[in-house]
Amino acid sequence: MDREDAVMEFQSLYTVWLRDLVRFRRDRTQILGGFSRPMLWLLFLGVGMGPVFHSESGVPYMHFIFPGVIAMNLIFASFLSAISIIWDREFGFLKEILVAPISRSSIAFGKAASGSTIAVLQGLVVVAFAPLVHVPLTFEKILLLIPSMFLIAFTCTSMGIVLASRMTSFEGFGTIANFVIMPMFFLSGGLFPLDKIPVWLKILTHLNPLTYGVDQLRWILSGVHRFPIAFDLFFNLFFSALMLALAVALFKRSPA
Amino acid sequence: MIQVVDLVKRFGALQAIRGISFQVKEGELFGFLGPNGAGKTTTINILCTLLTPTSGRAFVAGHDVVQYPTEVRRSIGIIFQDPSLDERLTALENLKFHAMLYHLPRKKTGERMEMLLDMVGLSERRHDLVKTFSGGMKRRLEIVRGLLHYPKVLFLDEPTLGLDPQTRNHIWNYIKELREKERLTLFLTTHYMEEADPCDRIAIMDEGRIVALDTPAALKQRVGCDTLDDVFVKLIGHEIREENASGKDQLRDLHKKWIGRMR
């Protein structure tokens, strides 16, 4: 691939990305969901569970679930963005993109990028709640949070593309979303500490890529973490690269 | 402009195309007719690189569709059977994103956009969301989009399906106007026999084979009928062909339910 081709591919990728962002800006229900979801978890669960929660590190429950709620908004937004591939297939727009002179890899990469961008915006919505629930924030923390959120979102969006490229019906995706999104969220260490749970549950949480994402977010926000930070970072980078490669490979062979 | 040699497409056990060969000359208006499930859309999908053939070869604008898909895509415009616009974007946004996907220079494209929008009478609605458009308006916008990047070949897969007679008429006038202006090659599939009459040549396809290929006049003469309707019925028979329903409407309902549930 020479330089001119590379520029063209980048422009195509940018087009796919831009379209999704323009659509997101108009999608009031999704923006509303981004606000109501964290409110629900922080206000109801956070306040309700607070008095009965005792962690060894002495962290209050609200502080404990805060990174988990960020991760939840990231994972929801990421998977919803990936779902749009199925909509595009059903409503015909995917064909317009597939017959355009751009590579399938650029389409898949553009989708992963737009889904992640939207998810980071949704993650920032949760971050904006921090003063309200007395989670201390600094400018440096926010600067560290953004790339970490992007990495988590990139993994989840790529996973969503993998699923979406195998699916032609929306119903099937909904089922899998429920069997993927919710378990990933519950088993991420975002809602309860992972040190007192039975071994079988521990194994599942350690296999969950979101666990390392939540751990990294928690380290940034409160300095508390379970795994070495270098390991979290390595795992998140490795897993997002793996998922992107898989997403691109599967999208190439997905039906028109 | 289009050359197809011994093209075969199989989907598992189903033979959608059973070895067809034909050529379309530059500037020709080529009609592709046949009952439902004859293999027309499959053929178009192969020619516009959405599907790869099981065997045989196809060339569009001099490029092999399997080996050089990007070159083929640059030289073709397509009006699909089903709508393929982004309904949540405005008419102009749809066109702009198309221009970006085809890497068209901005200034030159702007002028062409104006000219084409004007031709189909959508200039005033350019800033409206496509979901507020009627079926006919969407079709007209798709025609503008399909022509934006100066394609050499324009594929029209049942472009007037489900439209009222006035809109059908209009769409035909645009197509004729463009043929004269831009020396466009047109590849058309249709169910309406009267639309096939102005074609330079017609191929009639049935069960994956081309059963007749000639000018409309020659076909009428050969079969001994006055109208293409009669030619069609004589060559294909009266039997109604069944096509598998895609369940698309059902899915659209499901989307609506799910959007509410997921968010």
pLDDT of A135 strictly over 60: yes
Tell me whether residues B78 and A99 touch, CB distance under 8 A: yes
In chain B, which residue's Cα lies nearest the Cα of A94? B84
pLDDT of residue B242: 53
Q: Do A18 and B97 touch (CB under 8 A)?
A: yes
Interface of A with B (CB under 8 A): 8, 11-12, 14-15, 18-19, 22-23, 26-27, 29-30, 32-33, 80, 83, 87, 90-103, 169-171, 174, 177, 256
- Which range is most confident: A24-33, A245-254, B55-64? B55-64
B223: how many CB neighbours lie within 10 A of its CB?
A: 16
End-to-end CA distance of chain A: 26
- The answer, yes or no, to whether residue A120 has pLDDT greater than 80, is yes
Average pLDDT, chain A: 88
If you average pLDDT over residues A132-155, what whole number do you get? 92
Mean pLDDT computed over A159-177: 77
pLDDT digits 0-9 by tens, B221-231: 887 777 777 77
Q: How many CB pairs under 8 A join A and B?
A: 95
B79 touches A: beta carbon within 8 Å: no
For the beta carbon of residue B226, count every other beta carbon within 10 angstroms: 9
Q: ipTM higher than 0.90?
A: no
Residues of B in contact with A12 (CB under 8 A): 100-101, 103
Taking only the tens place, the pLDDT of each residue in A48-86 is: 888 888 776 778 888 899 999 999 999 999 998 988 888
The nearest CA of chain A is from the CA of B194 a distance in Å of 28
- Do the Cβ atoms of A101 and B88 come within 8 Å? no
Structure letter (DSSP) for residue A189 = T
Mean pLDDT of A74-102: 89
**Residue among B84, B89, B103 whose CB faces A11 most closely:** B103
> Residue B101 is nearest to which of A12, A27, A174, comparing CB atoms?
A12
Q: How far is A249 from chain B (nearest CA, A)?
A: 17
Cβ within 8 Å, pair A101-B50: no
Closest-approach residue (CA) in chain B for A30: B263
Query: H or E element: which one contains A54?
Result: none
Residues of chain B with Cβ-Cβ distance to A29 below 8 Å are 259, 263
Is the confidence at residue B260, as pLDDT, over 50?
A: no
Which has the higher per-residue pLDDT, B180 or B5?
Answer: B5
What is the residue-wise DSSP string for chain B? -EEEEEEEEEETTEEEEEEEEEEE-TT-EEEEE--TTSSHHHHHHHHTTSS--SEEEEEETTEETTT-HHHHHHHEEEE-SS--S-TTSBHHHHHHHHHHHTT--HHHHHHHHHHHHHHTT-GGGTTSBGGGS-HHHHHHHHHHHHHTT--SEEEEESTTTT--HHHHHHHHHHHHHHHHHH--EEEEE-S-HHHHTT-SEEEEEETTEEEEEE-HHHHHHHHT-SSHHHHHHHHH-SPPPP-----HHHHHHHHHHHHHHH-
- Which of B52, B82, B84 should we substitute to test contact with A (largest number of A Cβ atoms within 10 Å)? B84
Judged by a CB distance cut-off of 8 A, whether residue B30 touches chain A is no
Average pLDDT, chain B: 84
Task: Quickly state the pLDDT bin for B173 (edges 50, 70, 90).
Answer: confident
CA-nearest of B97, B79, B88 to A13 is B97
For residue B142, give every residue at least 6 positions away whose Cβ sits within 8 Å of its Cβ, in sequence order, or none.
B79, B80, B83, B84, B85
The secondary structure element, H or E, covering residue A79 is helix A61-90
Q: Encode pLDDT of A1-38 as tens digits.
A: 578 888 888 999 999 999 999 999 988 888 888 889 89
- Classify burial at A53, counting beta carbons within 10 Å of its beta carbon; exposed 0-12, middle 13-18, buried 19 or more: middle
Residue A51 is given by DSSP the state G
Quote the CA–CA distance of A136 and A247 in Å, as a whole number.
Answer: 37
